[in-house]
Amino acid sequence: MLQTRSVWSMGTAGMRRECRQAKARGSCWSVRADALRWMAMMVHRHCWCSRKQPRCSPMAGRAWRSPTNSIWWATTCCSAAGTASWMRPSVRRYPHVSRRAKHFSCRCLRRNDPIRSFVLMPFFGFRAKDADCVLLRSTHQDRGTVTMRPELLLPARMASQLLLEPAESILSAAGHMLAVQSQDFTAGRYALAQRAGIGVTRAQVDELFSSGKLVRSWAMRGTLHICLPQDLKWLMESTKERTLRANAPRLRELEIDANAIEQAAGVVASYLADHGRASRDALFAELNSHGMPTAGQRGIHLLMVLVQHGLICLGPIPADAKLAAQDFVLLERGVTEHQEPENPLHELLLRYLGSHGPATLRDAAWYTGQTLTTMRRTASELGTSLVQVGVDEHGDAYWVVTGSRAEQSLEAPGLLGLPLRLLGGFDEYYLSYANRRPIADEAMQRQIAPGKNGMFLPFWLEQGRAKEVWNAKAAPADPIGAALHQRYLEFRTIRQPAKD
């Protein structure tokens, strides 16, 4: 069994004493809730049973009182109003221990309380024979000392990534995800639509690009992402330095220096101010006409640098576009409002963990292009806004945002009932983590990314794990799989121009 750090218990006398003190100080909670809260607050770390009393416990060396009355209090307590039960018991089998446990969720406690749920579990391993239960699980920030198994990790990630319950709208999904990877524009639009509801079509997503409510940009790691326009400026400001530093050798090869960037910015800004929007070919022609060559990937790297400097972005989709065409627009013209977080790195880590957690800081560093040291410092500064919920096989801590979908999902562990999903190429569920082994084994990873050429194929997700690579010519026999297959095909179909 895993070793505990601190396990406390409390008998009836202690509860009554705490009730009297709570009543005397005029607590805003019911006296019974105060007593049980006091008992739960004594769990200072994530607690799991051990075969002997912990040395750090104040009760070490002394017989433990039977906490039978604690169970009675937990199962009979009512709210201050006296009408509805404030404890919601349910019996579950926890994967970390081979025992059934009664789990309680304390709905009456405040969100920022260290303890909001715990488990009372029959256990006979302590020195005193009559010690028949212990506080097993808390939601304290430091609880994550246990290796998180897939039964807990994968449902929480699917919940975070809106793959269990979609957002209310396309824009809500984009705001929640912060940035959806989309070097494959079709796959990026499909990923966003999938997280916004089963009835969302590609035409609905395209309309938001044409109206300026969605944009696409090289936001992080030199990779194209879909995001809300109001998030784009601060997002690029927080990641620009390391992205430009990583691209510096390639820019030198293409003879793109500060002077070339300044000249290109003037030409592009003037052209877009006159025309409103322009295709990539039109901007290349304009640059060439001003003596700035665009051959050999020099042109696209010039435009990429202008995007990363916050001058332009990809927005409207031409009427005669195929699958990936987009026009460039001036960022200031397309963005009517900017969000300016006080600390962009704080916002970046919170938004990443809120939409991708549970994830490690190593995952966050990979996704954002920042250093691991920067992510660790940022997490430390965020304090209680983050909750540690476990560790991976390497000992790196898994983090979630307090009150996020992932934290709520961890209250219901298990892989029963996870829906079948068809994920497109470069999907966030797979690509946004440095460690992808929880999602796909080594053999499956080689199928998803064959040839190690930077391409990631679409695949079927079953019970939270990659099952097999998608085959466009092989529709599943079951109705759900067939419907998902058909929907992805529709996103990948080139629209035919209307006939007069």
Dump pLDDT digits (tens) for 298-339.
Answer: 999 999 999 988 899 999 998 877 766 899 999 887 566 667
Is the bond leading into 358 cis (omega within 30 degrees of zero)? Answer: yes
Q: Which residues pair with 226 in a beta bridge?
A: 180, 216
The tally of domains found in the chain comes to 2
- CB burial of residue 391 (10 Å; 0-12, 13-18, 19+): middle
Query: In the prediction, which pLDDT does 475 show?
Result: 86
Domain boundary among 141, 163, 179: 141
Task: Please give the structure tokens belonging to residue 460.
Answer: 């079927």
Q: How confident is the model at residue 413 (pLDDT cuts 50, 70, 90)?
A: low
Residues 154-192: pLDDT tens digits? 999 999 999 999 999 999 999 999 999 999 999 999 999
| pLDDT in the model for residue 495 | 62
Same domain, 64 and 172: no
Q: How many residues does the chain have?
A: 500
Residue 500 domain-assigned? no
- Please give the mean pLDDT across all residues of the chain: 75
Percent of the chain having pLDDT more than 70? 67
Question: Which of 125, 141, 157 is the last residue before a domain boundary?
Answer: 141
Domain that holds residue 191: 147-495
Residue 117 maps to a domain: yes
Residues 214, 84 within the same domain: no
The two three-digit tokens of residue 389, written as one number? 């919920």
Q: Is 364 found in the same domain as 240? A: yes
* Residues 410 and 353 both lie in one domain: yes
Query: Which of 141, 159, 177 is the C-terminal boundary of a domain?
Result: 141
Lowest mean pLDDT among 232-236, 256-260, 332-336: 332-336
* Cβ atoms of 182 and 317 closer than 8 Å: no
Whether residues 180 and 100 share a domain: the answer is: no
The answer to whether residues 309 and 444 belong to one domain is yes
* 325/423 same-domain check: yes
The per-residue b/e assignment along 235-258, b for 16 or more CB within 10 angstroms, e otherwise, is bbebbbebbeeebeeebeebebee
Task: Out of 125-139, 255-269, 340-354, 421-435, pick the least confident.
Answer: 125-139
Please tell me which residue, 10 or 388, carries the higher pLDDT value: 388
List, in order, residues 6 or more apart from 136 with CB less than 8 Å away.
47, 48, 49, 94, 97, 101, 118, 119, 120, 121
Q: What is the mean predicted confidence (pLDDT) over 450-479?
A: 91
Is residue 439 in a domain? yes
By mean pLDDT, which of 27-41, 53-67, 350-364 is the weakest? Answer: 53-67
Residues 103 and 227 in one domain: no
User: Sorting pLDDT into bands at 50, 70 and 90, what band is 408?
Assistant: confident
Please indicate, yes or no, whether residues 282 and 166 belong to a single structural domain of this protein. Answer: yes
243 against 75, higher pLDDT: 243
Question: 326 and 365, same structural domain?
Answer: yes
Which of 49-53, 242-246, 331-335, 435-439 is predicted least confidently? 49-53
pLDDT for the residue numbered 337: 64
Instruction: State whether 320 and 388 are in the same domain.
Output: yes
